Amino acid sequence: MIDPHAPAPPGSPPSWAGPGGSPDGLGGRPPGSGGDPRAGHDPRAGHASRADGGSRAGAPARLPVRPATGRFLVLAGVFVCAACGLVYELELVALASYLIGDSVTQASVVLSVMVFAMGIGSLAAKRLRRFAAAGFGAVEAVLALVGGLSAMVLYAVFAWTGGWGGPWAYAPHLLLVAFSLTIGVLIGAEVPLLMELIQRVRRQDAGGAVADLFAADYVGALVGGLAFPFVLLPFLGQLTGALVTGTVNVLVGAALVLGLFRHDMTGRARWLLLTANAVVLSLLATATVLADDFERAARHAVYGQDVRVAVRTDVQEVVLTGDTDGRPLDLFLDGRLWLSADDGRRGHEALVHPAMSGPHARVLILGGGDGLAAREVLRHPGVRRVDVVELDPGLVRLARHDPGLSALNERSYADPRLRVVGSDAFRSLRSTPTATYDVVVSDLPDPGFTAGTKLYSQEFYGLLRRVLAPDGRLAVHAGPVTARPRTFWTVDATLRAAGLRTVAYRVAERAGRLAPGPHQGAGGHPRTTRDRGFLLAARTLPALRLDPAAPRPRTLTSASLLRDARAASRTRLTGLPPSTLVHPRY
């Protein structure tokens, strides 16, 4: 902390002096230097109270504690407010990535809009310096209300208006920008007001005050940034975590202003601020009590009324619907339809069976925590070992023990030949010996989602090529061909850049009602026809055929595979560059 008695420039009045070389121009002695023993506490000296609750900028405040204690309390308030502000920021990024998709785009929108708005807020707060205490209290009350309720409001708009179509399809995007802008303006307004308050506690040079203020601000941001993923999100969830953060924010803001700077405000201003904070606390408390009921209602609005399982694992939200009263089972991961019992067999048979035509004693499945790819692999005679590398152990537990899902995967996890590795696929492959597997099945999320782009990169496929036996084969789920041909053929170009030859094919499927996601409509869409695209790869050009020694698939024939390959080839895009870790193309 900077010494408040730092030397002043030659010829300047003492730091305690006002215009004319005396404290606030009212006397010739510094406060407490003699004469009137009340000089250091006279409200007329250096305070100049106003009937409207403001005081002249820079005038010392009358504190109920010593200046050193007051300064510490202000910096503690800065610390807490900075932590809360960063939590609001991260909460918007996380919720937008879940509801809208493409985490890089959403993070860029939130951060850039918020930083821009902070600059506007700082400029706007210059007009509030005369009313720094009341202004800061009001800013914190509004920030706590907006930030605390932002997750709930954003989720509500997503859930209840997502299926309306038209302009409402962009409502979550617009609301995300509006919240980022509002929260950024309020956070930006904090710094000038806090600078004014800390200078009223005890004057010091501007550089020292800025250093102290920003040190507390940055350390608070660190704590808030770590608390969000490690405490708030896993233990409270996004909705309750944001509401609790708002509650802490309003309590600290009110305590700092009403407790420390109450003499800087008129009685009327204090009562108005107290009432506003009480209203904000009541709204946040009510929303916290109703958060669970709200979340269930919103989930039903998104997924329908037959939600049977909804769990938040360490990796994602997993929702199972149906499998009751004859309804087909659907599995949603982070709000996106991952598999439907109607079409799950068709997609997984197409993914697995062409790759199993040839040696297949040792098989690696990347992803596939639902167990359906393993179900198809284990149908083939001669399989001795199946390794499933799945990042989400919560999904594996559900696939093992949920009656509906375990029946759908035919209890593949109970097979003694199957072993589960709970790890990131990229990290696991780097430690896998060369030529370990005859077949690799990549049952991973679509490459269009930013979090999975590294698993569709040239470097990743280079690792897969290394762990394949010389005559081994790789099957890749590469997303829809018709809807996103550029993405699909970029995967093909990336496999080829890694030294593999490829054959493309697709299967049509009937998609059930889709939860809202970045690439599909929202709400209760009618059943529509779409396709899934696959790539079969090997060191030499692989033959697209079925294993004659294996049980015949229920939905595939050799003729249908060739038809599907011709249909996929008609969509081919040439000249696409491969996707790499440092230059993702999806």
- The residues annotated with a catalytic role in the active site are 443
Beta carbons within 8 Å of 584's beta carbon, 6+ residues apart: 450, 453, 454, 457
Token readout for 253 is 């803001």
Token readout for 389 is 């590398």
Distance CA 148, CA 167 (A): 26
Q: Are 200 and 61 in contact (CB under 8 A)?
A: yes
Token look-up 């005679």 returns 381
Token readout for 583 is 């230059």
Strand partners, 339: 331
Distance CA 271, CA 520 (A): 50
End-to-end CA distance of the chain: 49
Token look-up 């902390």 returns 1
Instruction: State the burial class of residue 451 (Cβ atoms within 10 Å of its Cβ: 0-12, 13-18, 19+).
Output: middle
Strand partners, 389: 366, 421
Other Cβ atoms within 10 Å of 307 Cβ, number:
17
Distance CA 341, CA 151 (A): 32
Closest CA relative to residue 96, chosen from 518, 484, 513, 452: 518
Distance CA 538, CA 470 (A): 9
DSSP 265-319: S-HHHHHHHHHHHHHHHHHHHHHHHTHHHHHHHHHHHHH-S-EEEEEE-SS-EEE
At residue 16, the 3 state secondary structure works out as coil
Token look-up 């762990």 returns 467
Backbone conformation region of residue 101, classed left if phi is above 0, alpha if psi is from -120 to 50, else beta: left
Beta carbons within 8 Å of 325's beta carbon, 6+ residues apart: 306
Closest CA relative to residue 386, chosen from 421, 358, 348: 421
At residue 429, the 3 state secondary structure works out as helix
Distance CA 310, CA 459 (A): 35
Query: 40-78 b/e with 16+ CB inside 10 Å = b?
Result: eebeebbbebeeebbbeeebbbbbeeeeeebbebbbebb
At residue 460, the 3 state secondary structure works out as helix
Token readout for 506 is 């697709």
Distance CA 468, CA 460 (A): 13
* Cα angle: 491, vertex 478, 546; to 5 degrees: 110
Q: How many CA atoms are closer than 13 Å to the CA of 447, on its beta-carbon side?
A: 34
